[in-house]
Structure 1
Amino acid sequence: MRDERPITLSWNGRRPLSPEERRAHTPASEDARGAGPEPARYAAHGPDGEVGRYLFGDNLAGLRSLRAAASGSVTLAYLDPPFHTNRVHTLVEAGDRAAPKSERRRRAAFDDRWTDRAAYLESLGARLTEVRGLLAPHGSVVVHVDPKTSHYVKVLCDEIFGEECFASEIVWRYRRWPSKTPNFQRVHDVLLRYRRDARARPRWNTPYEPLAASTRATWGEGKQRAVFRDDGHRQRSSTTEEASLGVPMGDVWEIGVLAPMSRERTGYPSQKPLALLDRLVLALSDPGEVVLDPYAGSGTTLVSAARLGRRFVGLDESTLSLETVSQRLATIGAPLALEAVDAIPAAPSLVACEAPGPRRKRTA
């Protein structure tokens, strides 16, 4: 007999899920076995045609308000949470980057200090639970973590989204300057993808990798076709006149980190390259659909979504994030509705608000 007992993470003080909460983790809809509903889109536009929203303040409070107003409206959620580094991440003021280290002025970007790993997982788990409620049945969530935390987060996501909703573990491999350490160099991050409903057809646009040089030299750029004899045995291969799209992409991605002098670099710590987010947004959403980033940070997810014709919602409580996101979106001409978390409208509209006031102290 198969063991149906759930596997969960446990730590002192953690409250187990109630039966009602566990029932809430069942698939999103009984009729989701087909193609799924039409893409969830925000129908309302702000007065200036905003393509997205930025909610300034505590992201847990913001997610809860969004869930109450727009449950099931998100096609792709990307989370790049703190990695449990136990330090404050800062940015050097632009005018001081050439100064000696001791004379550089720094601004805090985000605080990644925790009392213990349980506190970190509890914080992340609360936000993942709210994200789950915002996803459409055909939606996906991607959680970006490092190898030191990925195994904990994987079990946490299995519990929140369901083991049957696990879709893939993507390894982002990059090159970096080697460091002197008695260990193998760490050159990858981990991206965990989960589906909202295992029975629904997910939003999926197959990404392709270019054909290998040896394949192009032998077969050219056309699609390969296998030719079989009447007895069913393969006789030979040939190519068609139709151009090949390439090879369906695997789960190991080689994308470079941002170079120190890259035009894309903002100076915001932990900034991810647009090439990485573009790949996710293109594969897991369609134009007009909503992309969510609860840890907006430098705004790469929001910039990618705007450039690719998606609508977006970003959340962060860092003043530096607010400034960076606003500047990046203004540079590409993407209108943005700024809202304070306490001023989230009751309906999922995109009415522009005044710029939020000073950062509030986190209470949860």
Structure 2
Amino acid sequence: MKWKKDKNDNTDNIEKIEKKNKKQKNKKKRKKANDQIVRIQELEEMLEKSGEDIDPETIVSMYVPHRKPKRIGAALLRMDKLNLVLMGMLLIVAVLFIIAFSQEKMGNFTINLNRLELYRRGISISETGEFNDATARLTASSVKDATNISIDDIPDNLDGESGSHNGKNYMAYTYYVRNAGKEDLGYIAKITLDSCAKGAEEAVRVAVWRNGKRVVYAEPAKDGSAEKGCVNFKSEDVVCSYHEENFLVGNVDRYTIVIWMEGDDPECVDSIIGGSVQFSMHIDSDIDDNTSLVWKFVKDIKDTLSGDKPINAAGNEAPNDSYYSDRDITWENRRNK
């Protein structure tokens, strides 16, 4: 009996110790929670002093450990519409910036036709001589991981194809310009150097075939003279320009552009490895038309209402008073053969 009594006493002691430990743990938890509440209250007071109106629930969602993510979502839903609109606009700008940056890095060769002064007057460009896809903007595919190549290794028949026809280590693109409008006019086609890196422009070559005649352009040599077999770039950012003063109705011009890094150029050295160049071609009117946009718009409406055969610049149809009134204007039946 004495042993049993001692056993009960030990059990009572153990229970007392466990209760005491449990109270101490609960006390520590309450103290920790109180410390967190104090810190949040202090933060809220600081924010109130700064003059900002902050929802306490938002503060709790951000600072209390192990808070469920849905609290943050709820806080976002409570934001006023103006803040949400601003956040949306910032996101759109960020996406556009990324897209623009990516496009720049691609190094594509683009051809841009002046829409207002040329496209609306019946001048268009196309990858094909039939002008089934007449437009005001074309983009050539880029060449990836290109290295240098000699001009002697580039095929001689590149002017005989259409659209993009790149080869190993060179870019080649052929397109057509057509006058299917109602009047003879002039244009200026200009190739520009838009960007470059690591001095790659010093060894680049740009060959241009215009209606079958080829000219090769390059940066001047170190002594200022022209590279062998080349014509110097017109300026630091302009490769060349072609002025067609009398682009008659029914005329079609063909351009082939070939770009490569010339391996035989003395400036083609190891330091330009990893470099890049980006070019574009712009086709503009050779006259400055100071007529207001409103008047041009009115004139287009007047032509439509009066039956004066308004220009269908996006397609093949030419007005009846053009050089060809009974068929489409193509490279094969062009006026300037």
Could you state the TM-score of these two structures normalised by the residue count of structure 2? 0.23
Which protein has the bigger helix share?
Answer: 2
Higher RCO (CA 8 Å, separation ≥ 6 residues): 1
- Larger of the two Rg values belongs to structure: 2
Could you state the TM-score of these two structures normalised by the residue count of structure 1? 0.22
